[in-house]
Structure formats: structure tokens, C-alpha cells
Amino acid sequence: MRHLLSSGDLTRDEATLILDTAAELARVSDRSVKKLPTLRGRTVVNLFYEDSTRTRTSFELAAKRLSADVINFSAKGSSVSKGESLKDTALTLQAMGADGVVIRHSASGAPHRLSHWVDGSVLNAGDGTHEHPTQALLDAFTMRSRMGRLEGLRVAVVGDITHSRVARSNVLLLTTLGAHVTLVAPPTLLPVSVHTWPCEVSYHLDDVLPKSDVAMMLRVQNERMHESYFPSVREYSRNYGLDAERLACMPPDAVVMHPGPMVRGVEVSAEVADSPRCTVTEQVANGVSVRMAVLYLLLGGS
Ligand code: CP
């Protein structure tokens, strides 16, 4: 494996190797000196054309914990505003000796294009509405840690599926790892091609929750919407939001996940977000270990 562009590219063995490696590397985060010399002398470029809180900082921390040199590039404040293309930007950074390029871009397929232009490994940190493979890996890692297994796990992914790269990456990865995924959304927030995805689909959250071990709640991505997809936020929240009453209908050990950023009061109530059954901050912590594992395996650490 040279690049990580899509969850769908990972075999079960490759995905399991990443999760197992992340579990080993998680121990580094528990030490007082949280650093390994593994990627000393390697350079990782974080190339972010879209906003990010979790993914960018997590990749930066992961690379630094493995002793790589890190360059953080954000489109805002760069020569992109003067018209420089993705290709020329990438070639410029490559000329500085990048061994790995982590890219987030609003265009679906941008990491794939980039992989043809640079010599180093390309890691997709989210491309448009297409994929976010390291998010799916950290979600799978969190489920495996909390529930002890992925095989046979019943996962409901709820919300704006149409605009979600997290949903597609999770469906592909979780089914590869033996979990069963049900997408729950109003018809307007399901992509037209959803019948080709390896999962079930429902419009009724209250039917799905009692049969789910995990409820993965997704944000409504207003920034990608150019028309109205539902009558009102209040109605959306009433039908597809997770509050304490709905959480009580889930199995007692079921957990609530969210990739972030979370909008309290829309897809999750504040009470659910602050509940010990909500794994949001655990997902963020696991994201560092998972990204360390991916960097380690792709950049040839030893
Ligand atoms: N989950 C996620 O991708 O969050 P950021 O947009 O903050 O990176």
C-alpha cells in the first residue's frame, strides 16, 4: 500500500493491520515522553484546502510523535489566492522533499489526482463528498475498543448521507470488517446511488435504534447545500435527532458516535453529547493513534 485514498481500497487484513498497529502506538500517548524516532528525517506536508479542526491537528500531532518534520500548508494565506493550481502547489512542496502529503480538498477525487503528480505517499484527509478514510479507521478503532469486536456489530449512520464523506468511508470499511451498517435519513438526504452501497437504508430512526449497537450521528452540511432539503431544522431534529428519550430505546451498552464538528440541539441533544455513552472525545484521541499507524505503515517506518 503506497497511498490511502479510499476505505474501499483496504482489504480486511490491511485494515486490521492498521487498527492493530494503532493499538500498539496508542501506548506511546500514555508515556510521559510521547515520541518515537520512527520517522526521523521524513517530511510530512499537511495540505489543507478546506477548514479542519480535528483532522489537521491530529495528523500534525501524529507525524510529530513519530519524529517526522511537518509542514502545515493552508490554502488561505498561500499563493493559491494568486491563482496557483493544486498541481503546481504540490510540485512546489514535492521539490522541498515531501515524503508524505496529507490532503483535504473540496473537490472529490483531488487526492487521487495528486497521487499521479507526487512521488511520496498521498493520504486523503477528506475530499468533497467522497471519502474520509482515516475518519472511518478511527471510528472502527473506537468501536472495536468500546464493544470488543467489529464482526456482526450493528451500526446506524444517521443524518446527511448525501453530503457525507464520512458515511461512504464508514460503510466501505465497516462492511469489509464484518459489521452491518444501516443508513438512516430522509429521502432527500440519501444519494441517488445509495442502492449500490453495501448496506441497508431506512427513513425511520425509531425503527432502527433499538436494533443498533452504535448510532453514528452526522451533521447537516449546510455549507454544501444550495437548496432546501427539509422543511425546517426543528422538524429535522424531531425526526432524526438523538435525544435522551431515543437513546434509552437503544441496547444498554450501545454507544453514540459523532465525527465532529457536532451541532448540539440539531443531530444530538446536549444531554446525549455530554453522556458517558457518547464517544466523541475518545474518537479524537484515537484519531492520533490511527494516523500515527497510517503514517508509520505508509512512510516505511521501522
Ligand atoms: N471529523 C473531521 O473531519 O473534523 P474536522 O473537519 O475538524 O477535521
Q: Is residue 55, in this structure, part of any structural domain at all?
A: yes
104 and 158 together in one domain? no
- Ligand 1: distance of its center to the CA of 267 in Å? 16
pTM of the model: 0.96
Three cell numbers written together for 146: 468500546
Active site residues: 54-55, 82, 104, 132
79 and 184 together in one domain? no
Res 302 pLDDT > 90? no
- The ligand 1 atom at the shortest distance from the C-alpha of residue 126 is 3
274 and 292 together in one domain? no
Q: Is residue 57, in this structure, part of any structural domain at all?
A: yes
- The ligand 1 atom at the shortest distance from the C-alpha of residue 259 is 1
26-65 pLDDT, tens per residue?
Answer: 998 888 888 999 999 999 999 999 999 999 999 999 999 9
292 torsion bin: left (phi>0), alpha (psi -120 to 50), beta (else) = alpha
Q: Is residue 173, in this structure, part of any structural domain at all?
A: yes
pLDDT for 294? 98
- Ligand 1: distance of its center to the CA of 284 in Å? 9
- Ligand 1: distance of its center to the CA of 71 in Å? 19
Helix (H) or strand (E) holding 200, with range, is strand 200-202
The Cα 15–Cα 150 span in angstroms is 12
| 301: confidence class by pLDDT, cuts 50, 70, 90 | low
Q: Is residue 2, in this structure, part of any structural domain at all?
A: no
**Residues lining ligand 1, Cβ inside 6 A:** 52-55, 126, 135, 259-261
Domain extent, residue 149, equals 133-279
137 and 275 together in one domain? yes
Q: Is residue 247, in this structure, part of any structural domain at all?
A: yes
159 and 228 together in one domain? yes
DSSP codes, 113-179: HHHHH-SSEEEEEEETTTB-HHHHHHHHHHHHHHHS--TT-EEEEES--TT-HHHHHHHHHHHHTT-
Domain count, the chain: 2
259-274 pLDDT, tens per residue?
Answer: 999 999 999 999 999 9
193-234 pLDDT, tens per residue?
Answer: 999 999 999 999 999 999 999 999 999 988 888 778 887 889
98 and 155 together in one domain? no
Q: Which of 46, 47, 55, 282 should be mutated for ligand 1, with most atoms under 8 A from CB?
A: 55
Q: Determine which residue's CA is closest to atom 3 belonging to ligand 1.
A: 55
Mean pLDDT of the chain: 95
Helix (H) or strand (E) holding 21, with range, is helix 12-29
CATH of the domain at 167: 3.40.50.1370
195 and 275 together in one domain? yes
High-pLDDT (> 70) share of the chain, %: 99
